Structure 1
């Protein structure tokens, strides 16, 4: 049984992931913007806990980390929360995962939600500071963050996951991917030991793919981490 935090778990992929983990017997702490957005797990059962805060507001992110710390060290953290809207995309999709990663005790496993659209993202980091980042930019950056953590933190497995274009509120009714397949990879990475590669993978439906080349570029990773530190005032050790 593992202790797992899932961000953005009030609906869509986050809720499906958290529900599947709970059904598997794990202790799941869910994050939502407000307590009113938290629903019970589908099919019965209870969450191990709830943390709240708006990840689009950078000032609220440390509070989410403090709430999470009350549950102790997590076995896995799934950074699922996301938005497609500018100017919130950089904060929710990249800065929030960075800050939570930096401020929380290191878990055994970190899983960051990416997107196939990350391949159209820019390696120019100026939009990180000025709020002009696109969804694609933010997903390239969070993918590179996952790879950076994988190469720097011995003892913590970090993976990036493309859940596919699934029919959630964000994906829309015209999405062509399967919602169940969209969360199975996160569940497996959070709970199974037979993972290859054990860290630093970019996953789509339980198979690895090659991400944008910049994601594995140590120089780009260094630039990204420096830009995130300057933007937040928090260093990733």
Structure 2
């Protein structure tokens, strides 16, 4: 039996990961953005150990989530599933960060920095990370003309970079990044061609499987198969600069 923490697990792929893991008798701690979503998470997965609430667009709430999650640990696996899609306009959070960057990247960084690194770490990306660009001087889109789709693709590239950086820091852990596919969820939309159980399968496998291939590290996977990520994600200097900029943006150092 393993204990797993899953961010963004009130609906969609995260909730399906929880369902599959609980059905296999694992202990799962869920996360929801607000009280309404927490109720939905409890209803969808009543067997969960706990449902924690925090808006990842807030550094204060993300810090509090790390503290609350630590009370239910230690974890055998952490799945960084939470994320948001493209927006039509650039939006700033209460912390002055661009919202997509904060929710999709900075929050995963903060939780990774404040929680012990689990033996298995899974970060969600997207096939759109292939279109991501590395623009370290303007991660917040303060000077570029806003492009919501590009901002989303960039954030997914940043998630891959964060995962590979962590894999290098912690070779004792299996740290991987997963493209779940285009999944028919609220985020993926009704035209997506893959079902939610397919979108959750690789993360669940990485979190708990005893198969040797599930315990390798530093990979970009889809449907349990390793693929080649955006080449920028393999550049150590770029990854180090991202971590440095995240540290400055959040005031939190990655150990």
Question: Which of the residues 216, 233, 236 maps onto 1:218?
Answer: 236
Over residues 142-173 of structure 1, what are the superposed CA-to-partner deviations in whole Å (9 max), with x where a residue is unaligned?
Answer: 10110111111131211000000011001000
Q: Which runs of 5+ in 1 are unaligned?
A: none
TM-score, scaled relative to structure 1: 0.94
Bigger Cα displacement from structure 2, 189-198 vs 69-78: 189-198
1:69–1:104 Cα contact (<8 Å) kept: yes
Question: Which of the residues 108, 117, 132 maps onto 1:121?
Answer: 132
Deviation of 1:182 (Å): 0.7
Deviation of 1:95 (Å): 0.5
1:178 aligned onto 2:195: yes
How far apart, in 2, do the equivalents of 1:108 and 1:54 lie? 26
1:150–1:159 Cα contact (<8 Å) kept: yes
Question: Which of the residues 77, 97, 100 maps onto 1:89?
Answer: 100
1:98 aligned onto 2:109: yes
1:229 aligned onto 2:247: yes
1:147 aligned onto 2:164: yes
* Aligned-CA RMSD value: 1.6
Over residues 176-215 of structure 1, what are the superposed CA-to-partner deviations in whole Å (9 max), with x where a residue is unaligned?
Answer: 1232111000000000132436100101011110000111
Residue 15 of structure 1 is matched in structure 2 by: 15
1:189–1:195 Cα contact (<8 Å) kept: no
TM-score, scaled relative to structure 2: 0.88
Residue 53 of structure 1 is matched in structure 2 by: 54
1:19–1:41 Cα contact (<8 Å) kept: no
1:89–1:134 Cα contact (<8 Å) kept: yes
How far apart, in 2, do the equivalents of 1:161 and 1:95 lie? 18
Deviation of 1:90 (Å): 0.6
Structure 1 pair 35–147 and aligned structure 2 pair: CA distance change class (3 A): same
Residue 205 of structure 1 is matched in structure 2 by: 223
1:119–1:140 Cα contact (<8 Å) kept: yes
Deviation of 1:105 (Å): 1.4
